[in-house]
Amino acid sequence: MLPLYDTIPSRRKPYVVYALVGLNVVVFFYQLSLSRIELIQFMYNFGLVPARFTSDRWNTIWQIRTGLSLYSNKWLTLLTHMFLHGGWSHLIGNMWFLGLFGDNVEDTFGHFRFLLFYLSGGILASLAHFSLNLSSQVPMVGASGAISAVMGAYFVLFPYSRIVSIVPFFFFFMPALIAVPAFTYLFFWFIFQVLSGLFDSPTGSGVAYWAHIGGFVVGMIYGYVYRVRRRRYYW
């Protein structure tokens, strides 16, 4: 099921969403300009590597083994990892979901508050992944944790919206457009992430499911708090 658009128009232009998409695309094209060795070094410098935080010797051992240097501040990677992507499909999928759900959430929160929410949601989502992969030496990259937070907020704020999606019917060789309630769509998306995280292979699938889960929960909490405060204001 491929989501195309939702049925709630935005009142204001989502300038922060546009800027985030543009920044992610620019960084990705920079990645494409790097050689294989330069790209590995870039990913380990600006991707989130849990072992950099949990092992004092890991940095030195990695540099000796690879001959490459780690020149970035490890704490900065809690932020920078969400602007890196592992390939075209990774980038396009993330930016598609950010555009689909982000415009309405930005419209509700306001531009500056949405930016703070997006960045803090991405950081907290990465901590969910980090807490379950303390010794991992694989860099986590991608905006999906932050985007999951946006989806979690959308789940709370716009449960009665419709997500118009393409559903392929293989027996008839004809795709169909179906308007799925946002609550249903996002609920099953979240359940899929939980099941995938619980039954992921021991070696890992390469997908940070728990960052998705953590981000979605953070977004739900933020959306709920915002909704309660708005009700109190109008009362």
- Kindly list the domain boundaries of the chain, sorted by start residue: 2-234
Supply the pLDDT for residue 157: 96
Report whether 227 contacts 152 (CB < 8 A). no
Tell me what percent of the residues of the chain surpass a pLDDT of 70: 93
CA quadruple 92, 93, 97, 102: dihedral sign: negative
Supply the pLDDT for residue 32: 96
Chain segment 32-86, per-residue pLDDT in tens: 999 999 999 999 999 999 999 998 888 888 888 888 888 889 999 999 999 999 9
Supply the pLDDT for residue 1: 75
* CA 141 and chain centroid, separation: 9
Residue 171 has pLDDT above 70, yes or no: no
Tell me what percent of the residues of the chain surpass a pLDDT of 90: 74
Residue 172 has pLDDT above 70, yes or no: no
Task: Calculate ∠ Cα 127-128-129, nearest 5°.
Answer: 90
Question: In residues, how long is the chain?
Answer: 235
Which of the residue ranges 12-16, 111-115, 160-164, 205-209 would you say has the lowest mean pLDDT? 205-209
Q: Which amino acid is at 24?
A: N
Range 2-234 classified under CATH 1.10.3720.10: no
Averaged pLDDT score across all residues of the chain:
91
Residue 164 has pLDDT above 80, yes or no: yes
Supply the pLDDT for residue 230: 76
As to burial, measured by CB atoms within 10 angstroms (0-12 exposed, 13-18 middle, 19+ buried), residue 73 is exposed
User: pLDDT band for position 166 (50/70/90)?
Assistant: confident
| SS3 per-residue string spanning the chain | CEEEEECCCCCCCCHHHHHHHHHHHHHHHHHHCCCHHHHHHHHHHHCECCHHHHCCCHHHHHHHHHCCCCCCCHHHHHHHHHHCCCCHHHHHHHHHHHHHHHHHHHHHHCHHHHHHHHHHHHHHHHHHHHHCCCCCCCCECCCHHHHHHHHHHHHHHCCCCEEEEEEEECCCCEEEEEEEEHHHHHHHHHHHHHHHHHCCCCCCCCCCHHHHHHHHHHHHHHHHHHHHHHHHHHC
Q: Distance between CA atoms of 107 and 34, rounded to whole angstroms?
A: 37
* Average pLDDT of span 88-110: 96
